[in-house]
A and B are shown apart, each in its own frame.
Chain A
Amino acid sequence: MISIKNLSKIYKSKDKMDVTAVDNLNLSINKGEIFGVIGYSGAGKSTFIRLLNRLEEPTGGEIVMDNKDMTSLNNQSLRNERQKIGMIFQHFNLLWSRTVFDNIAFPLEIAGVAKDERKDKVNELIQLVGLTGRENYYPSQLSGGQKQRVGIARALANDPKVLLCDEATSALDPQTTDDILDLLVNINRKLGLTIIVITHEMHVIKKICQRVAVMDNGKVIEQGEVLDVFMHPKEKTTRRFVQQVMGDQEEQSPIHYFVKNYQSGKVLRLHFVGETANQALISKLVKTFNVEINILQGNITQTKDGAYGTLYVHMDGNKEEIQNAIHYIHQTSVELEVEDHA
């Protein structure tokens, strides 16, 4: 859907050093997926996303979107292409002089859509983003979350193929963030829209993205399925992002630390990787086998593709029952490590 080759952007400056904001970046984004780009401040994320619709002119490289070479378009065709690329912003960027209705109608006016048609489309969008009854409010009368809903409706007005989101939830509280993220997932499913999400919050990535690229210093330093990146973060920056939602894995006590506290039974380390089927594992074990399970430490998070994380438990009971329970866990997709007490 979108393929980016050797993309770079250098800000030239007379008196200061040149800044390479995006450095030889390669990426390919599939149709219909929610793709995340995460990185710390100054990593070049905003520059990158603004290169995609050429709000910023690339210094070099190639962007092919839906078989169209974006970098070679002339002004007129670029404007037409932009109508098919929605964008939402951290600070919403609504026109204060227009009502909710007129803000959403704005891109339709630009595209030259007739008035009657505009009205139908806007009403449909207002319903989609859950703003029914607020048509005639001005942005100043809305909450942050509602403003972003207007932003999203506006971005969807011309039925785009791609939606670019630059820190779309960074100005919102956690609850509102989750509501907006749910809305994005909903739209992605309903409209089959490709969404590119820029953020510095791992929470956003794990909640809605299938794939993620980690940016640092203008480069993509790591990319892949969100779960893979969670499980095997290779780069230090990536590990720090994973810690944002998982806590510091290395700070967790090793398994043998627990063992010495028990005279009997076994200590189990259960590793959940994208589990949906085995989320009720513990209660199932207790019900099926005559064992007692004591949770020692754990850290589980929900990603788009299921639960991910580690759980340490102490299992006690009759030896045979424990053996059966362990055998049962082995048959599931939950990864297991067992430590006997010495």
Chain B
Amino acid sequence: MLRELFPNVVIEDLKVAANETFYMTGISVLGTLIIGILLGLMLFLTDRQGKTYKILNFITATIVNVFRAIPFIILILLLFPFTDWLMGTIRGPKAALPALIIGAAPFYARLVEIALKEVDKGVVEAARAMGAKTRHIIFKVLLPESMPALISGITVTAINLISYTAMAGAIGAGGLGDLAYRKGFQAWDFDVVFACTILIVIIVFIFQFIGDFLSKKIDKR
């Protein structure tokens, strides 16, 4: 039956491609999480009176805004020299990682900033009144208290990243996007495109499910 519906699909190809997509998404979500939280904290913590803060805030905000403004497909091209220098190649799933992370982290940073702004000011003040250091406030108050929003934010970002990996695939990064593009578009085997779509949707659902589950489980409000 399946054979008839998908005559041109090679299971082995599909497996490899799905693995590559998982790999690219997984690593880039991790990278985005770390860099996005750092940038988001920067944005949040420097948003106050004082000249040094103002300057730092301006620099961070500018970086975030500029990289968010660049369309992803152009960002990949723009980053070719950097990618080549960093990863030693511009082809394959590994080569897609810098562009994926740099493309998604600024977006996530804004979500992080919003999440941190939602943390009850009174709780931060209570911590300060106890003699907490900035380090305590970040790791014991800000991050735990904004955790549900941080998780739903990274879920949204992860789903963006899956669609980015498909785009990156089109210019040689591998993964399901690449497979769909080469076999489906260039060889006109439309059943392959269809199979890739199903797999991508399944991957999106998996990420969404995990994200919703964690966010709900952690929220004790």
Contacts and interface: CB of A to CB of B under 8 A. Distances in A.
Given A82-B131, A110-B136, A55 B125 contact: yes
Interface residues of B, number: 21
Q: Kindly list the 8 A-B residue pairs having the minimum CB-CB distance in the complex, ordered from nearest.
A: A82-B131, A93-B122, A93-B126, A79-B131, A83-B131, A138-B220, A107-B130, A87-B129
Interface in B198-220: 218, 220
Contacts of B145: 95-97
A295 interface: no
Contacts, number: 66
A106 B128 CA distance: 12
Interface in A80-104: 80-83, 85, 87, 89, 91, 93-98
Contacts of A225: none
A93 B136 contact: no
Contacts of B220: 96-97, 138-140
A79 B123 CA distance: 17
Interface of A: 53, 55, 78-83, 85, 87, 89, 91, 93-98, 106-107, 109-111, 138-140, 154, 158
Nearest to A111: B131
B56 interface: no
Contacts of B136: 109-110
The secondary structure that dominates the B interface is helix
Contacts of B3: none
Interface of B: 120, 122-123, 125-133, 136, 140-141, 144-145, 147, 218, 220-221
B130 A106 contact: yes
Nearest to B135: A110
Contacts of B132: 79, 110
Given A89-B122, A93-B122, A95-B141, A55 B131 contact: no
Contacts of B128: 55, 82
A23 to B, nearest CB: 23
A274 B120 CA distance: 43
